[in-house]
Amino acid sequence: MIARDAEETIRTLLRGFPIVTITGPRQSGKTTIAKAIFAGKPYASLEDPDLRLSAQDDPRTFLERFPDGAVLDEVQRCPELFSYLQTRVDADGRMGLYILTGSQQFGLLSGITQSLAGRTSFVELLPFSFQELARADRLPAQADTLLHTGCYPPLHDRNLTPRAWFSAYVTAYIERDVRQMLRIQELETFQRFVRLCAGRTGQLLNLSSLATECGITHNTAKAWISVLEASYIIFLLRPHHANFNKRLVKSPKLYFYDVGLVSWLLGIQTPEQIETHPLRGNIFETCVIAELVKSRLNRGERPDLFFWRDSNGNEVDVIAEKGTRLMPVEIKSGKTVTREAFAGLKKWRALAKDVSMEPVLIYGGSESYRQGEVRVVGWRDAGKVLLA
């Protein structure tokens, strides 16, 4: 098992909460980490039809099987348990009784916030981070290899090709989750919608354009984006709210949590194809921003990441909130850093003045160094940027 950065965070939270809920995409390692932390406690998956029926029919008796707590997997499948869990942990009084896991935000979060408010903490577990792979000696030497493979655990601890695994993953999980939330006859159109989204990763979200190209209504496109967010396939990066006296764009940018899935959806079959792919810059940016999100989620923190773009096209890829100050981060996929790469950072810093922290530029090379006031960081160390 590759050690996860979130493990220490989860163990700390279990000392202060009776329940910790781990959410995240399917196959991101939630069950593995939960079983490792609760190695001496029972495990029950609510994906099992018999167990689920038992929990639904008689929640009290079901929970009585686990007097000292347990790992309850995929709990969004049985929301009836939440109220009974509340009663049980309130009566028991001990901390660290249960770990709950779930791979959909719909239903899960609303049910838990209503019944278990104050009794559970949340940790979002995404696929492997660069640091996790590096410690296990699994981080590729070349960025294009990682852009092709992605970071899902099965692709790094099993002998599987991305092409075979993602095909099975999309069929077995994404499409099944969609069937639970959408009308089944729309599935083929939804598949096309997801591929269109992959072609727009790293770009401003334009729902009207997506809807027109996919042949659906604007409201349907909006609902489907919500489904992809709820299933931890995509996330939206919002523009930073501070305008610094400049007219800003208001639309969010669309990103995928895993860049390997993007490559598969785009039909990329080898790392060599990425090198000359017209969307390589967007794919690389997606990979790095997902890594920045992981670095904060693994510590149990909100990402608090944004982007900045004014009406003249000046842009900084990431604005990270750190207390009352802001860290600007620019991302360039090339292995050589040119003078033009610093233009957006320079423009933003002139507007932000004292609010700005040391600017960072993450690029496709391997060396890290300083260039003037800017800290230049190789892609392999991207996850360390926000830790400083």
Three-state secondary-structure class, residue 67: coil
pLDDT at 242: 74
Neighbouring residues of 163: CB distance < 8 A, sequence distance ≥ 6:
264, 269
Alpha carbon distance 298, 164 (integer Å): 28
Mean pLDDT computed over 232-245: 86
Alpha carbon distance 316, 330 (integer Å): 6
pLDDT at 63: 96
Alpha carbon distance 348, 224 (integer Å): 34
Q: Quick: pLDDT tens for 191-230.
A: 899 999 999 999 999 999 999 999 999 999 998 998 899 8
Instruction: Map out the domains of the chain with their CATH numbers.
Output: 6-124 (3.40.50.300), 130-387 (no CATH)
pTM over 0.85: yes
Alpha carbon distance 344, 317 (integer Å): 9
pLDDT at 247: 67
CA 276 to chain centroid, in Å, comes to 26
Neighbouring residues of 148: CB distance < 8 A, sequence distance ≥ 6:
162, 260, 263, 268, 270, 271, 273, 274
Give the tokens for residue 113: 């916030």
Question: Confidence band (pLDDT; 50, 70, 90) for 246?
Answer: low
Average pLDDT, the chain: 92
pLDDT at 137: 96
